[in-house]
Amino acid sequence: MDGVERGTPAEGEIDTAPDAARDVLRRVFGFREFRGAQREIVATVTAGRNALVLMPTGGGKSLCYQVPALLRPGTAIVVSPLIALMRDQVAALEHNGVRAACLNSTLDPETRRETERALAAGELDLLYVAPERLVQPATLARLEQARIALFAIDEAHCVSQWGHDFRPEYLQLAVLHQRFPGVPRIALTATADERTRREIAEQLLPDGGAWFVASFDRPNIRYRITTKERPREQLLAFLRDEHPADSGIVYCMSRRRCEEMAAWLSERGFTALPYHAGLDAEVRQLHQARFQRDDGVIIVATIAFGMGIDQPDVRFVAHLDLPKSMEAYYQETGRAGRDGLPADAWLIYGTRDVAHIRQMLAESTASEAHQRVERQRLEALLGLCEETGCRRRALLGYFGEVMATDCGNCDNCLSPPPTWDATEPARMALSAVYRTGQRFGANHVIDVLLGQETERVRRLGHDRLPTFGVGSDHTRSTWHSILRQLLARGYLQPDTSGHGGLQLGAGCRPLLRGEEPLQLRAELASGAQRRRGAGHSGPPTAADSGEWEALRRWRKALADAEGVPPYVICNDATLAALLERRPQDLVDLARVPGIGQHKLDHYGEAFLEALTDLDRV
């Protein structure tokens, strides 16, 4: 492959003109305009400056380093944590005419030597490398002999010891600053709270750099959360009613449950495959390949599946168990709808989920401070689950982003949940927390409210408190819901000892004194929540037609012939644009988003012929 034409700058020069970046964007990637802060990020890195980029999944992070890689002389080194992600991105770049390769443990010796030769000869535009391989002395020595355009560190949140995806080898990437002081670095992630952002900057960009924090909003994703009743039947109804032939991911907490759920869905006519760390590597690879190359495949997985998955046409992400934190929920749901078309984030949860995660945290060998942070993150996620207002506003608010209006595309916006006057029960709960000493967890507080004469209640004398038994008119599940919502609203907070106890929040006094009312989310009757916010989520109207399916079959046949996933040929958004615009010639086809010059040259006539065949049907 000859590679992309780099334009007219003399050898060794860097073309930082906005028109040059836009030209690369159009010719190589098929897009006419940058989105959001992409243009400024590209200009910053192309000019040789560092950058920290926080951008949601599907927001175009890759272009922020791929475009500068084609404008700067030398080879861009991309640090990527997963082999599957490397393969996906290299295949997509090659189909855009870019000279890309990867170095990882799966390469045979001959391929590895050829890749290393191409690097030394300056014949690569981008080289993807795993962090553990990058920091090896032999690799660093090889890079010092090559001309390096930039370092792009993807999934940069993995450097955070406070994060949910911490990888120790990311800490060793500080060597890049020391060994390559003149080469710009761009650290990219879709998931980082303020603490994690600071840690990324300190570890990966100690010499400074510009920060670009884009909106975390994914407006095409519909967020839907409900309580767990009959999880298998709830999932089956969701799939049959809304995603009968779509690709998606179902997350479960345990390996055993992944296996059982995949088998159960397969028995009911779905193509469902398990994926977890306990499977043989060959089986995992086979299942992931089928997910990427076949339409309508469902992966039933633990969190071992997903980070860095570059598949754009995932139409839903369903959680049968509660994630560990708001960050984990945001990252996992972000794997849906990367192509910008409508997608669903569907979650069911129950008190057992909460208990199981708390137990895992309690058994963790992490420091007490770390466990306390994780508990606070879990409470924030529980608050999102119990939210009565716009879920998107609550989700974005956690990451420090303020929405001026409700989103109109979550279950609470589409069908506002019923609420009830919980002022008096909330006062009872706050009083019980206070009178028991502000050091006990929810279950003990609820035992006191319900008048349960447990051994612990009697031993502590809490059966003699004024609040003992005052809440017997409500069920235990109702009290759990009340306490979760009080936590979410800040009337209660986890205690500072890290033992899971509850304390009064700073703003609880007016409520405790009866000076302000409180409306809380009501528990719905069985089955009612399943219907809230329902509605098909998928590609545009054309996607429901025979023409859409015919075009998808054509794309699949072409992809199979070339041995690549269908979305490498073109993603669903480009496919939908082809159906909507019906280009009549190559000039019209070049205006379709996602059709760059390389694809126009190689597939242009085939695209036009496929559309003509549709007209004949």
The sign of the dihedral angle between the CA atoms of 299, 159, 493, 356 is positive
For 209-234, the pLDDT digits (tens) are: 999 988 888 999 999 998 888 899 99
469 closest CA partner among 454, 484, 480: 454
Q: Is 156 helix (H, G, I), strand (E, B) or coil?
A: helix
CB 327 within 8 A of CB 163: yes
Q: Is the pTM of this model over 0.75?
A: no
Nearest 10 degrees: CA dihedral of 202, 206, 212, 216?
-20
CA angle 542, 547, 548 (to 5 degrees): 55
Residue with the bigger pLDDT between 158 and 496: it is: 158
Q: Which of 228-242, 424-438, 449-463, 553-567 has the lowest mean pLDDT?
A: 553-567
Q: Backbone dihedral region of 75: left (phi > 0), alpha (psi from -120 to 50 degrees) or beta?
A: beta
Q: Backbone dihedral region of 370: left (phi > 0), alpha (psi from -120 to 50 degrees) or beta?
A: alpha
Strands 492-494 and 502-504, bridge-based pairing:
antiparallel
pLDDT bucket at 295, cuts 50 / 70 / 90 = confident
Most trustworthy range by pLDDT among 5-14, 81-90, 316-325, 353-362 = 316-325
Cα Rg, the chain, nearest whole Å? 26
**Residue 220's pLDDT is what?**
93
Residue with the bigger pLDDT between 63 and 539: it is: 63
CA angle 160, 256, 241 (to 5 degrees): 90
Place of tokens 């993150």: 377
Query: How far are the Cα atoms of 203, 248, 307, 386, 495 from residue 261, in angstroms, in the given order?
Result: 41, 14, 21, 26, 37
Q: What percent of the chain has pLDDT over 90?
A: 43
Q: Which of 14-28, 50-64, 142-156 has the lowest mean pLDDT?
A: 14-28
Residue 26 one-letter amino acid:
R
Most trustworthy range by pLDDT among 97-106, 330-339, 457-466 = 457-466
Other CB atoms closer than 10 Å to residue 266's CB: what's the count? 15
Q: Is the model's pLDDT at 18 over the cut of 90?
A: no
Q: Is the model's pLDDT at 5 over the cut of 50?
A: no
HSE-up of residue 447 (Cα within 13 Å, Cβ side): 18
Q: Which of 60-69, 234-243, 311-320, 477-486 has the lowest mean pLDDT?
A: 477-486
Name the token pair of 202. 């300190």
Q: Which residue ranges form the domains of the chain, and what is each CATH number?
A: 18-213 (3.40.50.300), 221-414 (3.40.50.300), 419-523 (1.10.10.10), 541-616 (1.10.150.80)
CB 308 within 8 A of CB 155: yes
Q: What are phi and psi of 463, to 5 degrees?
A: -75, -5
Place of tokens 């126009």: 600
Nearest 10 degrees: CA dihedral of 505, 508, 513, 515?
170
**Residue 568's pLDDT is what?**
85
HSE-up of residue 4 (Cα within 13 Å, Cβ side): 33
The average confidence (pLDDT) of the chain is: 85
Q: Is the model's pLDDT at 331 over the cut of 70?
A: yes
**Residue 525's pLDDT is what?**
42
pLDDT bucket at 1, cuts 50 / 70 / 90 = very low
The sign of the dihedral angle between the CA atoms of 56, 59, 62, 64 is negative
**Residue 191's pLDDT is what?**
76
Q: Is 298 helix (H, G, I), strand (E, B) or coil?
A: strand
**Residue 11's pLDDT is what?**
42
Tell me the longest C-alpha to C-alpha distance in the chain: 86
**Residue 527's pLDDT is what?**
42
Q: Is the model's pLDDT at 523 over the cut of 70?
A: no
CB 477 within 8 A of CB 467: no
Name the token pair of 24. 């690369």
**Residue 336's pLDDT is what?**
92
pLDDT bucket at 351, cuts 50 / 70 / 90 = low
CB 183 within 8 A of CB 150: yes
Q: Is the model's pLDDT at 345 over the cut of 50?
A: yes
How far is it, in rounded angstroms, from Cα 552 to Cα 548? 6
Instruction: Name the β-bridge partners of 502.
Output: 494
Q: Is the model's pLDDT at 410 over the cut of 70?
A: yes
DSSP secondary structure letter of residue 525: P
